[in-house]
A and B are shown apart, each in its own frame.
Chain A
Amino acid sequence: MDPSPETLLDLHRRMVRIRHFEEAAGRLAEQNRLPGFLHLYVGEEAVAAGVCANLDDDDQISSTHRGHGHLVAKGGDYSGMMAELMGKATGYCGGKGGSMHICDLDLGMLGANGIVGGGVPIAVGAGFANKYRGTDRVSVVFFGDGASNIGAFHEAANMAAALSLPVLFVCENNEYGEFTPRDRTMAITDVVDRAAGYGMPGAIVDGMDVVAVWEAAHEAVSRARRGEGPSFIEAKTYRFYNHHGVQTLGMKYRSDDELEQWKQRDPIELFEDRLASAGVLGADGAQAVHAAAEADIEAAIAFAEESPLPDPDSLLVDVYTPAVYSGAAS
Chain B
Amino acid sequence: MTPPAETDGRSIAYGAAFAEGLAQMMDADPNVFVAGEDVGRAGGVFGSFRGLNERFGDMRVVDTPISEQAIVGLGTGAAVSGLRPVVDLMFMDFMLVAMDQIVNQAAKLKYMFGGKATLPMTITTSAGAGLSAAAQHSQSLEAMLCHIPGLKVVMPSNPYDAKGLLISCIRDDNPTVFVKHKRLLGLKGEVPEDPYEVPLGAASTVRSGDDVTVVTYGRMVHEATSAADAMAAEGIECDVIDLRTLQPLDMDTVVQSAQRTSRVAVVHEAVRFGGLGGEIASGIAEEAFDYLDAPIERIGAPFSPVPFSPVLEKEWVPNAELIGERIRALAAA
Contact = CB atoms under 8 A, between A and B. Distances in A.
A159 B30 contact: no
A158 interface: yes
Name the residue in B69, B79, B150 with the highest tally of chain A Cβ atoms < 10 Å from its Cβ.
B69
B114 A126 contact: no
Interface string A120-164: 111111111111100000010000000000011001101100110
Contact of B74 (A96, A101, A125): A125
A131 B58 CA distance: 12
Interface in B159-193: 171-174
B31 A328 contact: yes
Nearest to A156: B70
Interface in B1-39: 1, 25, 28-33
A197 to B, nearest CB: 13
Contact of A96 (B29, B79, B111, B174): B111
Contact residue range for chain B? Answer: 35 or more
Given A96-B111, A101-B112, A320-B110, A127 B77 contact: yes
A155 B74 CA distance: 11
A144 to B, nearest CB: 16
A276 to B, nearest CB: 41
Contacts of A124: 70, 73-74, 77
B101 A330 contact: no
Interface string B102-115: 00110001111111
B77 A103 contact: no
B67 interface: yes
A123 B77 contact: yes
Contacts of A130: 81
A321 B110 contact: yes
A118 interface: yes
Contact of B115 (A62, A155, A317, A327): A317
B149 A319 contact: yes
B176 to A, nearest CB: 10
Contacts of A158: 65, 67, 70
Contacts of A162: 64-65
Interface stretch (B116-124, B134-142, B293-301, B302-310): B116-124
B29 A152 contact: no
A324 B118 CA distance: 11
Given A105-B80, A125-B81, A321-B110, A115 B100 contact: yes
Contacts of B84: 327
Contacts, number: 170
A226 B195 CA distance: 39
Interface string A302-330: 00000000000000011111111111111
Nearest to A80: B114
A110 interface: yes
A217 interface: no
A181 interface: no
A114 interface: yes
Nearest to A121: B73
A126 B69 contact: no
B116 A105 contact: yes
Contact of B114 (A92, A110, A163): A92
A217 to B, nearest CB: 20
Contact of B111 (A139, A319, A325): A319
Contacts of A131: 59
A159 B64 contact: yes
B114 A93 contact: yes
Contacts of A323: 172-174, 200
B78 interface: yes
Contacts of B150: 319-320
A282 interface: no
A201 interface: no
B69 A330 contact: no
B72 interface: yes
Contacts of B117: 103, 105
B76 A326 contact: no
B111 to A, nearest CB: 5
Interface in A56-75: 60, 62
B70 A330 contact: no
A97 interface: yes
A94 B114 contact: yes
B65 A115 contact: no
B114 A152 contact: no
B67 A159 contact: yes
B75 interface: yes
A156 B33 CA distance: 18
Contacts of A321: 110, 118-119, 173-174
A155 B71 CA distance: 9
B83 interface: yes
A126 B109 CA distance: 14
B104 A115 contact: yes
Interface in B82-108: 82-85, 100-101, 104-105
Interface of B: 1, 25, 28-33, 59-60, 62, 64-65, 67-85, 100-101, 104-105, 109-120, 149-150, 152, 171-174, 195, 200
